[in-house]
Structure 1
Amino acid sequence: MDFKIMQGARCAVIGYGSWATALVKVLTERACEVGWYVRNPEVLESLLAEGRNPRYLQDVEFDRARIRPSDDLNRVVDEADVILLAAPSAFLKSFLEPLTVSLKEKFVLSAIKGIVPDDYQTIVEYLSSRYELQPSQIGIITGPSHAEEVALERLSYLTVVCPDPENARTLGEMFSTPYIKLSYSTDLYGVEYATVLKNIYALAVGLAVGLGYGDNFLAVLISNSAMEMSRFLNESGPDSDGRNTLASAYLGDLLVTCYSVFSRNRRLGLLIGRGSSVKGALAEMTMVAEGYYAADCIRHVNRKHKVEMPIADMVYEVLYRGASARKAMKALTTKLI
Structure 2
Amino acid sequence: MKRLLLLLMAILLPLANFAQIKYESLSSQKLGETRQIKIQLPRNYEENLEKRYPVVVVLDGDYLFEPVAGMVDYYSYWEDAPEMIVVGINQDGIRTKDTYYSEQNFLPEGKGAKFFEFIGMELLAQLDQKYRTANFRIIVGHDFTSNFINYYLLKQNPIFQGYINLSPDLAPQMADRITSALNTAESRKWYYMATASSDIPNLKEDILSFDNKLKGLENEMIAYTFDNFEDATHYSLVGKAIPSAIQSMFEIYRPISTKDYNEKLLQTSVSPSEFLAKKYTSIEELYGIKKKISLNDFMAVYKAIEKTRNWEEYKNLYKMAHDHYPGTMLGTFFEARYEEETGNPKRAMRIYQNAYGQEKIAFLDSDFMLEKADAIKKDFGY
Normalised by the length of structure 1, the TM-score is: 0.29
Structure ID, larger Rg: 2
More strand by share: 2
Normalised by the length of structure 2, the TM-score is: 0.26
- Structure with the bigger RCO (C-alpha within 8 Å, sep 6+) is 1
